[in-house]
Amino acid sequence: MTMTNEEWPMGRPRIAFLGLGKMGVPMATNVARAGYEVTSWNRTYKNVESLSSVGASIAREAADAVSGADIIITMLKTDTAVREALFNEGVAEAARPGAIVIDMSSISPDAAIEYSDKLRTFGVSWLDAPVSGGTLGAAAGTLSIMVGGEPDTYARCLKVLKTMGRPTYIGPAGAGQVAKIANQIIVATTIGGVAEALLLTIAAGLDPEIVRKALAGGFADSRILEEHGRRMIDRNFTPGGSVDVQLKDLNIALAKARELRLLLPLTEEVTRLFQTMADAGENDIDHSALFLELERMKDGYKDPSSDPHR
């Protein structure tokens, strides 16, 4: 008999939450505020104290955090960080048979499939459930959550996922991560489009804020025009989504495209621009700061019509 999302050994699933960065803290907070028993862990001890105020327990070791947990949520930065936590920090061994890992990190689809297969040998199920919506969405509990894994496993975890946002089942293991890199392609190329549009507006002597408001409601409207356009105009690049995370996700997207024998020229170009920023040490600023890179490029302007090879 398949368990429903309410049929857990203790009546309600106990949660371990691993990874308490800018996104993990508000996500874990929302789970705890929804009344779930949460034990949290972070590789460094910073950020965990704030969860005590919402009733979450704190573990010093990842294996201790997952002992007895029904659902183990990971929110880490890279494929390697997830692998380390699951298989080198003792999580897979300490997880009880029948537990479920929900990895909400943004990792490669191939890694998601690999980790799913490996956890199965420990009797542990898997969902890859990467998110979009940034720190504001994490705090508000309105993240878009793209889920890959077994449908029955998804059904059992649906109520927990809904405490953090709007989950959508995409397909088997790895499918959530494919949806996430599709999201990141749209985000990155749209940031580039908004930045170019605002630079054109400014160069033409217009007020970019007035133009931004004029575009609202039309086909050019988007959350990126609203939120990142505002950041560009205010020149506020305090990180929500950082350059290094955006670049990591774009490189995953291009690797998947090569595997599928696809050419993604817009994605390749915007990846090149983010790589230039990273090479210049601008890893930790907000990805909307692509505006600054494009702004710098105008100083090297050459009229393309003067190119004899054009």
Tokens describing residue 291: 């505006």
The CATH homologous superfamily of the domain defined by 15-173: NAD(P)-binding Rossmann-like Domain (3.40.50.720)
Q: Catalytic pick from 22, 180, 248, 256? A: 180
Return the percentage of the chain with pLDDT > 70, whole number: 92
Q: Each residue of 170-224: pLDDT tens digit?
A: 999 999 999 999 999 999 999 999 999 999 999 999 999 999 999 999 999 999 9
Query: Under 8 Å CB-to-CB from 268, ≥6 apart: which residues?
Result: 254
46 is catalytic: no
State residue 14's pLDDT score.
Answer: 95
H-helix or E-strand spanning residue 220: none
Mean pLDDT across the chain, nearest whole number? 91
pLDDT bin (cut points 50, 70, 90) of residue 55 is confident
List strand residue ranges (DSSP E) for 14-99, in order: 15-18, 38-41, 57-58, 71-74
> What are residue 168's DSSP bridge partners?
146
Return the percentage of the chain with pLDDT > 90, whole number: 81
- Residues 251 and 10: their CA atoms lie apart, in Å, by 42
pLDDT at 236 over 80: yes
This prediction has a pTM of 0.90
- Residues 209 and 66: their CA atoms lie apart, in Å, by 48
Q: Each residue of 118-139: pLDDT tens digit?
A: 999 999 999 999 999 988 899 9
pLDDT at 148 over 90: yes
- Give the residue-averaged pLDDT of 142-161: 97
Contact status, residue 112 vs residue 176, Cβ threshold 8 Å: yes
State residue 16's pLDDT score.
Answer: 97
Q: Each residue of 84-115: pLDDT tens digit?
A: 999 999 999 999 999 999 999 999 999 999 99
Which of 17-31, 59-73, 232-246, 291-305 shows the lowest per-residue confidence on average (mean pLDDT)?
A: 291-305
Domain ranges of the chain: 15-173, 178-298
Tokens describing residue 60: 């010093």
Kindly report the CATH class assigned to 178-298: mainly alpha
pLDDT at 2 over 70: no
State residue 1's pLDDT score.
Answer: 29
